[in-house]
Amino acid sequence: MTTELMSQPTGASSAIADRVARVRAGFASGITRPLEWRRRQLDAVERMLREHHDELEQAIFADLGKPPVEGYMTELGPVLTEIGIMRKHLAKWTRRRKVPFIPFLWSKGFIQREPLGTVLIIAPWNYPVDLLFMPAVGAIAAGDAVVLKPSELAPATSAVLAELVPRYLDPRAIAVVEGGVPETTELLAMKWDHVFYTGNGVVGRIVMEAASKHLTPVTLELGGKSPVWVDPSANLEDTANWLTWGKFLNTGQTCVAPDYVMTTPEVQPRLIAALTAEIERFYGADPRRSPDYGRIVNRRHTDRLAGLIAGADVALGGEVEPEERYVAPTILRDVAATDPVMQQEIFGPVLPIVPVAGVDEAIEQVNAGDKPLAMYVFSEADAPVEAFLERTSSGSVAINASMIQLGVDSLPFGGVGASGMGSYHGEKTIEIFSHNRSVLRKAKGPNFVKLTEPPYTPKVVKRL
């Protein structure tokens, strides 16, 4: 059982240390181990989300202008589904797994999936409920004690969760710590049994460095530029439908949103026409007035996006209302790999189209950058799909679809290289938050030691 000391509290912030110490003591007392406790906590998360569904959706709306339907579809709904999956498979995913009898040692063996201890989950602002509770649900199912750190950039959601969690979940083993950089820095200085971080790569490096001081394992769910290839063989109507949905949902502030599109110069105008029609179908002639189109999280990101649009060849949209944090659904045409919009993750409703000669050039361009979190290939022909699968790397790929790969619990969700390390959802989350302990039990019968113990007579040597 883990009973390591944490770093000592420093004056004003000792409230955080006290809260973490309580949760750690809760784990040490063994309360989180019985499956019954885990089930009760999963039920309580479900009750909390259902009973405060309106309050949470309003908080998400206040933070992100996210339409309530989107709030349910992309935040509460997926967590409720994950809870159902965890509950259904809890016994199977946490039970001891026998290995075949080991005849030469005359022993039995099994793998015991045991909880790691007290874990820290740090979430970003863009899906402030989903990205906190998707990992938390797995950590609870694995039998860990959990400290949740919501993002200070989604303050309304953070405040609601800080109020609700202690009312619904067992405060002896589950706690919320609100705050920004100073509070997270204090948390990261402590010794954890696992740190699960979702957010940008700069902070990902800070998290990993802090964790390394205690040899704490980390999961880093990061971002980056997720490319799209639209092959000349693609069905452009369907492609435009998937791209419009994937790019403009949550106003493009999604880690796996299609970041930019590569296609041939011949396809570019037809794709722009198809995208324009889809955007108007989704959000009307003036998306600013649409109740189904969100806003940018804050002024800083709005100004950043305005900077990326300025000077580019705008095929559609381009309007920015900084006071309202509004950025229109925007398509940029004839974008070059060297343009500013191609130098950072866009994380907003701006879709650049980069004309390339064909699949080979597109693959070359992908491979010149960091390994992406997601990749999208739209093609009716198999060869381009195979070329991307065999000659590039990314956290995930969706073919003729966007973003839905992360809604499938049997498909691990995570990045590779600069887009992250470790993957989760479904049983994978339980794996992250557990240790696979190997256990060997000697069976009654022949004794290996007796046969091979010293003195090493010729008879012993012959037995080897």
* Identity of the residue, 40 or 205, whose beta carbon is nearer to ligand NAD in the bound complex: 205
Q: How far is the CB of 451 from ligand NAD (least distance, A)?
A: 53
Residue 255 binding ligand NAD, by CB under 6 A: yes
CA dihedral 451, 452, 458, 464 (to 10 degrees): 100
DSSP letters along 317-376, please?
---EEGGGTEE--EEE-S--TTSGGGSS---SSEEEEEE-SSHHHHHHHHHHSPPPSEEE
Token pair recorded at residue 133: 């509770």
Closest CA to 252 of 221, 277, 287, 289: 287
Residue 203 binding ligand NAD, by CB under 6 A: yes
Ranges assigned E (strand) in 123-259: 145-149, 174-176, 194-198, 218-221, 227-230
The correct pick among 72, 192, 242, 347 for binding ligand NAD (CB under 6 A) is 347
Strand partners, 436: 113
Q: How far is the CB of 414 from ligand NAD (least distance, A)?
A: 7
* Identity of the residue, 153 or 387, whose beta carbon is nearer to ligand NAD in the bound complex: 153
Contact 452/259 with Cβ under 8 angstroms?
no
- AA letter at 7: S
The correct pick among 85, 141, 228, 373 for binding ligand NAD (CB under 6 A) is 373
Q: How far is the CB of 348 from ligand NAD (least distance, A)?
A: 11
Residue 129 binding ligand NAD, by CB under 6 A: no
The correct pick among 90, 174, 222, 305 for binding ligand NAD (CB under 6 A) is 222
* Identity of the residue, 279 or 373, whose beta carbon is nearer to ligand NAD in the bound complex: 373
What is the largest distance, in Å, between two alpha-carbon atoms of the chain?
A: 91
* Identity of the residue, 148 or 359, whose beta carbon is nearer to ligand NAD in the bound complex: 148
Residues 388, 392, 393, 394, CA torsion sign: negative
Q: Which residue is nearest to ligand NAD (CB)?
A: 223
Strand partners, 376: 228, 398
Helix (H, G, I), strand (E, B) or coil at 265: coil
- Token look-up 């240790």 returns 435
* Identity of the residue, 65 or 420, whose beta carbon is nearer to ligand NAD in the bound complex: 420
The correct pick among 185, 212, 344, 436 for binding ligand NAD (CB under 6 A) is 185
- Token look-up 């500013």 returns 340
Binding segment toward ligand NAD, per CB under 6 A, in 97-105, 107-115, 199-207, 302-310: 199-207
36 is catalytic: no
Binding segment toward ligand NAD, per CB under 6 A, in 105-113, 116-124, 162-170, 281-289: 116-124
The correct pick among 67, 143, 223, 318 for binding ligand NAD (CB under 6 A) is 223
CA distance 322 to 156: 21
Q: What is the CA radius of gyration of the chain?
A: 25
Contact 184/124 with Cβ under 8 angstroms?
no
Strand partners, 424: 413
Residue 246 binding ligand NAD, by CB under 6 A: no
Residue 81 binding ligand NAD, by CB under 6 A: no
* Identity of the residue, 59 or 153, whose beta carbon is nearer to ligand NAD in the bound complex: 153
* Identity of the residue, 202 or 215, whose beta carbon is nearer to ligand NAD in the bound complex: 202
221 is catalytic: yes
Binding segment toward ligand NAD, per CB under 6 A, in 40-48, 81-89, 217-225, 316-324: 217-225
Helix (H, G, I), strand (E, B) or coil at 106: coil
Strand partners, 435: 114
* Identity of the residue, 206 or 416, whose beta carbon is nearer to ligand NAD in the bound complex: 206
Q: Number of residues in contact with ligand NAD, rule: CB under 6 A?
A: 28
Q: Pick the catalytic residue: 82, 114, 221, 431? A: 221
Phi, psi at 269, each rounded to 5°: -65, -35
CA distance 261 to 170: 46
Q: Tell me which residues in 148-177 interact with ligand NAD (CB under 6 A).
A: 149, 151-153
Binding-site ranges for ligand NAD (CB under 6 A):
122-126, 131, 149, 151-153, 180-181, 184-185, 198-200, 203, 206, 221-223, 255, 345, 347, 373, 415, 420
Residues labelled as active-site residues: 221, 255
